Amino acid sequence: MSHILHRNLSSFYFVYYFFVGVFVPYWALYLQSEQFSPADIGILMSLFQISRIFAPNFWGWLADHTAKRTVWIRLNTILGVIGFIAVFFVDGFWPMLLVMGALSLFTSSTMPLSESLTLAHLANTKGHYSRIRMWGSVGFIVASIMLGYVIDWAGIASLLWAILAVQIALFLLTFRLPEAKVKPHHTDGASVWNILKKPAVIALLVGCAMMVTAHGVLYNFYSIYLAEHGYDKAMIGWLWSIGVVCEIVVFLLMPRIMRRLSLKNIMLVSLALAVLRFVMIGVAVDNLLILLIAQTLHAATFGSFHAASVEVVAQFFNGRHQAKGQAIYNSVTYGLGGAIGGIAGGYALQYLGGETTFLLAAVFPLIGFAVVAWGLNLAKTHGGQAMFG
């Protein structure tokens, strides 16, 4: 992979996940400042996951059939900018629901399209996915730490301007993304439904959805949970960032990990550690040391799990099915799984309390462990050098 292409893709990942690092830790706190209840926040935040069920599949189909991924990435980012501007002018649950629903249709599709573009470039250039994706993690860290201090200093309303600025920067970066040629594959003539019917694919999607269901609770309510227990915005930002620092370390180590452990075993270890992580968050929120340990487990519950999952998805969905495969994976796992976790987590937080909510979240990766252990059988057991080497 050329230096310029690597730099442009890495820059896009950095800014996209900078947006995620601004949005995920603090948007629920903004909604709380606007007097929305936990149940309302759960519904509003889950619109992004619900949109992931449908929107990425439409854009993925367009990308595969037109072979023009960058065009649709650019369109999604500019429509995301326009949609977010409306947030400045709305008040009340239903207007916010309408605006966030429209916004989520576009922002939820940007990364699946970008992942398929990146994987297509990697297939042609023998580049390194982990070294590109790592910059997304760096962007998240910088944003989550910086915004914590900014909000403590300037107030929660400053979040709106930060998000708008980052979205504009993301749109401008799309003009530096080159189109990729997708290599023909022997499965190109087959229906994508023939792939989806495979028991191993079903097990993969269900297992991943269970992991993301638990994380739907984390992404939507972890900051609120911490704030209710006396943590300030700066400390909340640091706690989020510690997890992502560990995630970066895992991305750098993935080539070695994948040579020593099978993809299935990486997923199983990650799921087991997720059970431990959510139990720790539920029982020890007032113990900073245990919270720090729990956050280091993000290296497994997201880092190694995501890396192994993307590799497995790429095994099942090849050639002209690549964008659709990434879209389906995002729809079922981050869409359906994230929406269940977000909505159910909101009601659980409101009626059962934070400790019980996070303990219940631990049940989902436990189910995912059983599904993956029983149902995920792979022809290619270890990771490929082109993607993670």
Q: Render pLDDT for 138-179 as a digit per residue (tens, 0 to 9).
A: 999 999 999 999 999 999 999 999 999 999 999 999 999 988
How confident is the prediction for the chain on average, in pLDDT? 89
Contact, 207 vs 372, CB < 8 A?
Answer: yes
Q: Is the pLDDT of residue 185 over 60?
A: no
CA distance 353 to 348: 7
CA distance 32 to 37: 7
Structure tokens at 367: 């189910």
CA distance 108 to 23: 13
Q: Is the pLDDT of residue 296 over 60?
A: yes
pLDDT of residue 385: 46
Residue 255: is it exposed, middle or buried by C-beta count within 10 angstroms (0-12/13-18/19+)?
Answer: middle
CA distance 40 to 44: 6
pLDDT of residue 234: 93
211-10-28 Cα angle (round to 5): 45
CB proximity list for 168: less than 8 A, separation 6 or greater: 81
Structure tokens at 8: 């442009």
326-332-336 Cα angle (round to 5): 140
215-222 average pLDDT score: 94
What's domain 3-388's architecture? Answer: Up-down Bundle (1.20)
**How crowded is residue 324: how many other Cβ atoms within 10 Å of its Cβ?**
22
